[in-house]
Chains A and B, each alone.
Chain A
């Protein structure tokens, strides 16, 4: 229980750092969506779900590694390079995706099309090497078991998730088409940045072992 409280408090206390880390992705994405309050909350929930999945994946890895051996620098670097490249690819796909029709068709036959983009954005930002995440990863590894690490990350996620709620307001903004286009361009610019980070990490690993 003490460990869970610690994880939740760590999440709550380091929320601003999480925002600074995930904000650059969340802001243009939600502005580009022009979703309205209800859909914005829905999108944010899916995003957070993806983020939770990223946390839990890492928690399982950290728990397994902590139980046998510490997660090496090489593996960490490869994981974060992959996360950055995945994030860049998702942002590019999102930025270049054709615009959603303004008016829905009168009759929709078959199941509604779902997009995996918010899940992927959440997953890849969840695996980002931001300072609170590193602290949580170290503490999760110290638990020495998969269950302990998963529970730690669950509580940590609950603490940080509170800070993301205000972002729904960005999705609710009814911005002009031009602003939405700028937001999409911004996602492409950010994709270039994350791709660069991923490639640089990979190059560093290849050159320096």
Chain B
């Protein structure tokens, strides 16, 4: 993956190893159970994932660059998640499509994307408008309570950072956007950034009106690579057509052309919803005006267009910043810095970055790591 910035001064190997030690121990703890399970595939998969994630963290510490290494993890997660998920679906029910009878039986795996849509109906009528199970069952381990619990934990730790360290869907775009050397489409109107908020408002209102998760029924691009309602009518055929068009348009073609995460930046309602939690997140990225030369490198590097002329002038990012660190990595003048809210801007930014990384990477190992290791186990087992 090409990177934009010149390398800042690296840390020494010894000091980097020492700073990596807590993460290595956490990873060992997380994968210890898998390492002790019978079977070679599960052990090899766990070991590979552990080494991969700890090495990436070591590199982040040593090179002082965040996004450059994070992207490897995130793209890997994005490409392995659908493989593992579909594998599981095929093993459970023999197909990627979910039949109506399974939906009625509450066997639809719950996805975090549904959360903004279920809140109002649940608050007003004590009804969860999703055909899933509240608690895990043998036929549906991805229960509503488990996913909401996980999301709440992730939100507390990461805020909007969920979109850079947790969302397996975003990883696909991240990987596709990293492939071309240069963006073919460079001028994008900033007003597109408002579309996710409009989609969020529309789906929340329509879900309340129709008592159905509208986004999942009509708009989710990721149905293409996870599961979708069985095509049995014109309506379900149109739905499948919308899913495919949105997936190939926003997750494959546009990221390739723009080198941006176009689905996340210009469509995803969950991303907009998650942005609200940046307000309570302890870390943010700020711009030191005294160092800034208005070179706009940070604005161009941001995969979700979370920086513009005005926000840089105001010395901060926009609300949709997902803390990927791309702007900090690319800034030659160290004007873009990590920051802990409540402290003066520019006070020990590297310490702020490391603190953020410990939290984010800890979650990444626990959540993304288990997905990567799980899929690798299936693949290695298949290969014999």
* A interface residue numbers (CB < 8 A to B): 20-21, 23-24, 27-28, 178, 181-186, 188-190, 193, 196, 200, 203-204, 207
List of B residues within 8 angstroms of A24 by Cβ = 202, 205-206, 208-209
CA distance in complex: A203, B206 (Å): 22
List of A residues within 8 angstroms of B202 by Cβ = 24, 28, 186, 189-190, 193
Give residues 210-246 of B contacting A (CB, 8 Å).
Answer: 214, 218, 234-235, 238
* B interface residue numbers (CB < 8 A to A): 191, 194-195, 197-199, 201-202, 205-206, 208-209, 214, 218, 234-235, 238
A189-B199, A203-B234, A207-B234 as given contacts; A181 in contact with B206, CB under 8 Å: no
Q: How many Å from the CB of B150 to the closest CB on chain A?
A: 29
CA distance in complex: A181, B199 (Å): 13
CB-nearest residue of chain B to A22: B209
CA distance in complex: A188, B201 (Å): 11
CA distance in complex: A170, B360 (Å): 38
List of B residues within 8 angstroms of A186 by Cβ = 197-198, 201-202, 205
Q: Are A190 and B234 in contact (CB under 8 A)?
A: no
New contact pairs (14) apart from A190-B205, A193-B206, A196-B218, CB-CB < 8 Å:
A20-B208, A20-B209, A28-B205, A181-B191, A181-B194, A182-B197, A182-B201, A184-B198, A186-B197, A189-B198, A189-B199, A189-B201, A200-B235, A204-B234
CA distance in complex: A43, B198 (Å): 22
Q: How many Å from the CB of B189 to the closest CB on chain A?
A: 12
List of A residues within 8 angstroms of B198 by Cβ = 182-186, 188-189
Query: Which has the most chain B C-beta neighbours within 10 Å: A183, A189, A204?
Result: A189
CB-nearest residue of chain A to B234: A203
By secondary structure, the B interface counts as helix
Task: List the 5 closest A-B pairs by CB distance, nearest first.
Answer: A185-B198, A24-B205, A189-B202, A186-B201, A186-B198
A189-B199, A200-B234, A203-B234 as given contacts; A182 in contact with B194, CB under 8 Å: yes
List of A residues within 8 angstroms of B205 by Cβ = 23-24, 27-28, 186, 190
CA distance in complex: A81, B198 (Å): 24
22 contacts between A and B (CB under 8 A): A20-B208, A23-B205, A27-B205, A28-B202, A178-B194, A182-B194, A182-B201, A183-B198, A185-B197, A185-B198, A186-B197, A188-B198, A189-B199, A190-B205, A190-B206, A193-B206, A193-B218, A196-B238, A200-B238, A203-B234, A204-B234, A207-B234
Q: How many Å from the CB of B198 to the closest CB on chain A?
A: 3
Q: Are A23 and B208 in contact (CB under 8 A)?
A: yes
CA distance in complex: A44, B55 (Å): 61
List of A residues within 8 angstroms of B191 by Cβ = 181
CB-nearest residue of chain B to A199: B238
List of B residues within 8 angstroms of A27 by Cβ = 201, 205
CA distance in complex: A207, B235 (Å): 13
Query: Which has the most chain B C-beta neighbours within 10 Å: A20, A184, A188, A190?
Result: A20
CA distance in complex: A90, B234 (Å): 26
CA distance in complex: A196, B235 (Å): 10
List of B residues within 8 angstroms of A200 by Cβ = 234-235, 238
Q: How many Å from the CB of A208 to the closest CB on chain B?
A: 10
Q: How many Å from the CB of B374 to the closest CB on chain A?
A: 36
Query: Which has the most chain A C-beta neighbours within 10 Å: B194, B198, B235?
Result: B198
CA distance in complex: A185, B196 (Å): 9
CA distance in complex: A203, B199 (Å): 26
